[in-house]
Structure 1
């Protein structure tokens, strides 16, 4: 049986799926046809129920629980991995009163300042249904002046002044400072302080139309692929590099270290708790529709 498999070209995903799609593990009779898209494109393909297996943001997953079940393997959760809201100095141009200051990288100044100012900014976001935008909505529900952009274009849009602030994800965490940009707030840190849980960013889901034994097999194989990657971290280097948008090897592996961890092998009790809390919080605030299906595959 051949199954379509969608994920991003980012190092964390190519690291996870290298062994699976290149036959480095026994795939138990399954073949995988991979395709690569940014997370928001993957989200929309899942909305249409197209892929057999796909990466998607946890925010988007809330809208397709009727079509897909969440695997225990392959997820991106963690501490210190959340999206960041960045700006181009000086921040003072956004402040009405000249005697008020903003500390940028060294802190967020007075909380009343930052939480009052951000809703006035035009913010570039990497997609409506991304977990990044979900977190932005939790922290700044009045920040509605948003422009949807490809995540890799956000930094340059901030630099050019097309937008006032940018919501960055993935490897941009490692590059924004080199471009003279500064952090307003780390929304992953905001979530962690509010909840004490890891931040769920993206998960791997399987189409419910597939036979249950195939769904369970996919879950098992994704776990084996992650375990193989951890045991042989350089095995997929050329494959990862070929999709890494001219990243240095150092940045590639920083990216992998940040997003691939114990939760990628198995969500476990802690991972499931964090995901359920995110959904419960989003439902309470009216951000997502009511979920009637069981979220997890097993």
Structure 2
């Protein structure tokens, strides 16, 4: 079976057992390690592996062809994207008409940014520039852009670039909705046995939790030069109860995010019930 997910520590931690044939009855995996910007595009274009990790924000473009797997993804509290600048400012109005770099126009981070900016940035931002997330902080530091939207391990390393946090969009979202933040989703093509895939993903998550040190070599092999401490912090933040099962609250968070986005005309309209089948 073909699968695509990022080389980030939370994904390699979650899928280590399945990738290494430790899940009884699960098919062998042919893995493609890809930035989520790529998988969002592949899924929307109907190409790429039949199982992928994409942004929750990209679901409206793919939900007719792909099912949402209710485990294995990244959704939680205290793990939202950050808006960073090279200046010591906390005034959202400073972004009016400015150039902002984002990791993907179909990322959950960007969708949260659009929902937040619509309420807090008078007149809106100026130019949106899409670039790989690992290039965003250097670009902000070097003042090639005015602000950057960052995700994943950048939460732990942005101070190393001399940057300041203008807004934690996760804090804004949680205060506004009282719900966790939907970030990355696991999807499977509807032609597959989705129940079986869900079972295998969940078993891989459970194996990772039961044997947290077994995956360390694999995680660090793909950790993009992160230290072990930062990689572990990444896992601790993004692998949580919702990774094991979205549950009622997790689905409510996804409904809230995509429902608001549909209302604002930011994503294609679709029946939210499709997320549950």
Is TM > 0.5 for Structure 1 vs Structure 2? yes
Aligned length: 271
Q: Specify every segment of 5 or more residues in structure 2 that has no aligned partner in the other structure, as ranges.
A: 119-123
Aligned with residue 38 of structure 1, among 25, 35, 38: 35
CA distances 1:187-214 after superposition (whole Å, capped 9, x unpaired)? 111111110100000110110122xxx2
CA distances 1:215-250 after superposition (whole Å, capped 9, x unpaired)? 210000000000100111111111110110111100
Contact 1:6 1:37 in 2 (8 A): yes
Q: Specify every segment of 5 or more residues in structure 1 that has no aligned partner in the other structure, as ranges.
A: 92-101, 103-107, 109-113
TM-score normalised by L of structure 1? 0.88
Q: Using the alignment, how far apart are the partners of 2:139 and 2:168 within structure 1?
A: 19
Q: Using the alignment, how far apart are the partners of 1:29 and 1:232 within structure 2?
A: 18
- Counterparts of 1:82-101 in structure 2, within 5 Å, are 82-89=80-87, 91=88
Q: CA RMSD in A?
A: 1.3
CA distances 1:252-295 after superposition (whole Å, capped 9, x unpaired)? 00000010000000001110110111111111111111113743
Q: Helix, strand or coil: the match of 2:12?
A: helix
Aligned with residue 164 of structure 1, among 146, 165, 189: 146
Aligned to 2:223: 244
CA distances 1:87-138 after superposition (whole Å, capped 9, x unpaired)? 113x4xxxxxxxxxx4xxxxx3xxxxx2322232211100110011101100
- CA drift of 1:160 comes to 1.1
Q: Using the alignment, how far apart are the partners of 1:169 and 1:29 within structure 2?
A: 31
Larger Rg: 1
Q: Using the alignment, how far apart are the partners of 1:240 and 1:295 within structure 2?
A: 33
TM-score normalised by L of structure 2? 0.95
Contact 1:43 1:60 in 2 (8 A): yes
Aligned to 1:48: 45
Aligned to 2:96: 119
Q: Using the alignment, how far apart are the partners of 2:148 and 2:134 within structure 1?
A: 11
- Confirm or deny that 1:140 pairs with 2:129: no
Moved over 6 A (4+): none
Aligned to 1:94: none
Q: Helix, strand or coil: the match of 2:105?
A: coil
Aligned to 2:262: 283
Contact 1:53 1:205 in 2 (8 A): yes
Which range moved further: 17-26 or 140-149? 140-149
- CA drift of 1:31 comes to 2.1
